[in-house]
Amino acid sequence: MITEIAPARERESAAPQQPRKVRRAWDEVPRWQIYLPLGIYLVFTLIPFYWILLFAFRPAGSTSLLPWPMTLDHFQKVWTERSFGVYFQNSVYVGVATLILTTVVALAGGYALARFEFKVKRAFMLALLCSQFVPGALLLVPLFQIFAKLQMINSLGSVILAETVFQLPLSMILISGFIRNVPQSLEEAAWVDGCNRFAAFRIVVLPLLRPGLIAVGSFAFVHAWNHFLFALMFLSDQSKQTIPVGLNTLMSADSVDLGALAAGGIVAAVPVVIVFAFIQKWLITGFSAGAVKG
């Protein structure tokens, strides 16, 4: 190994502008050491996905391992008979409202944390960190009582508020990290040009925050879309329930209709897949920019 490296070093000192050579040792990993474990893991990852597609598209009672002849009966049944059409609408409403509310409130708070020194800042930061450890699941009873007092039980507003509150701390920490990465001198230049603070923020900072806000916003949406417990507890009318609650109802039936369950699962997954396909390129850069630099 050393004999191999020596000439590489010589070449590099001759042409110091080629940093790619540094990665040599990592490039030497034998291909099978990558593809074999990755292949095994992919089988484990993908079989469950295949299984749900199989059950959703093959006719009831079939035991074929191919979804053929293909049928859409299960989707029709789950969308109308099992009210997934209604659940879908409710879930979209909860997801979008949580996204907007979380992003706006976290953006305001995150800006204050990133750009100002003020008295309660340390205490507020500490509260944000601590609230990460407070489990929503263990606060169901007091939350239920609060929403009952506010007359919000059985309205989607209760779920939206609860989801937003538990998304806020992390979102705010991430967003304040993104804002810190934008040099303040950019904003100051805009002030000199006559912008007030809000205009400078909107024109200079906001466009630079886009990848981070997309990451945080889509995270809030997916979380609200997927979350189950608050909707289960706070919404009792069937017409108000969300997709995860609908899936649970399908699963807890005495004899589970597997085809309908699979089709319902796909209905639940499609928006998440779309969101992730859309944001994938921003996701890792967005999170690594905000999260890792402490």
Per CB under 8 A, contacts with another protein among 55-74 are: 55, 63, 65
CB of 225 to another protein, least distance (A): 8
* Out of 92, 96, 112, 206, the residue judged to bind another protein by CB under 8 A: 112
Using the minimum distance from each CB to another protein, give the nearer residue, 211 or 264: 264
Handedness of CA 159, 163, 164, 169 (dihedral sign): positive
> What does the alpha-carbon distance between residue 26 and residue 5 come to, in Å, rounded to a whole number?
13
Q: Note whether 55 and 257 are within 8 A (CB).
A: no
Query: What amino acid is encoded at 147 in this protein?
Result: F
Lookup result for tokens 């039980």: 153
Rank residues 182 and 247 by Cβ distance to another protein and give the closer one.
247
Q: What are phi and psi of 280, to 5 degrees?
A: -50, -45
Which of 92, 96, 146, 152 forms a contact with another protein (CB under 8 A)? 146
List 80, 151, 238, 288, residue binding another protein (CB under 8 A): 288
Q: Does 108 bind another protein (CB under 8 A)?
A: yes
Binding mask 80-99 for another protein (x = CB under 8 A): --------------------
Q: How far is the CB of 207 from another protein (least distance, A)?
A: 20
Q: Does 15 engage in binding with another protein (CB under 8 A)?
A: no
Which of 250, 258, 251, 272 has its CA nearest to residue 57?
258
Q: Does 264 bind another protein (CB under 8 A)?
A: yes
Residues 161-220 that bind another protein (CB under 8 A): 161-162, 164-166, 168-169, 172, 188, 191-192, 194-197
275: left (phi over 0), alpha (psi -120 to 50) or beta: alpha
Nearest Cα residue to 226 out of 135, 95, 96: 95
Q: What residues between 119 and 138 interact with another protein by CB under 8 A? A: 120-121, 124, 127, 131-138
Distance from C-alpha of 254 to C-alpha of 44, rounded to nearest angstrom:
29
> Which residues lie closer than 8 Å to 129 by C-beta, 6 or more apart?
169, 173
Site for another protein contains 9 (CB under 8 A)? yes
For the CB of residue 80, give the shortest distance to another protein in the complex, in Å: 19
Q: Which among 266, 195, 287, 257 is positioned nearest to 49, based on CA atoms?
A: 266
User: Can residue 32 be called a binding residue for another protein (CB under 8 A)?
Assistant: no
Q: Which two tokens stand for residue 2?
A: 């050393």
Segment near another protein (CB under 8 A), from 29-37, 72-80, 81-89, 202-210?
29-37
First to last CA, the chain: 37
Cβ closest to another protein, residue 75 vs residue 225: 225
Q: Is 100 one of the binding residues for another protein (CB under 8 A)?
A: no
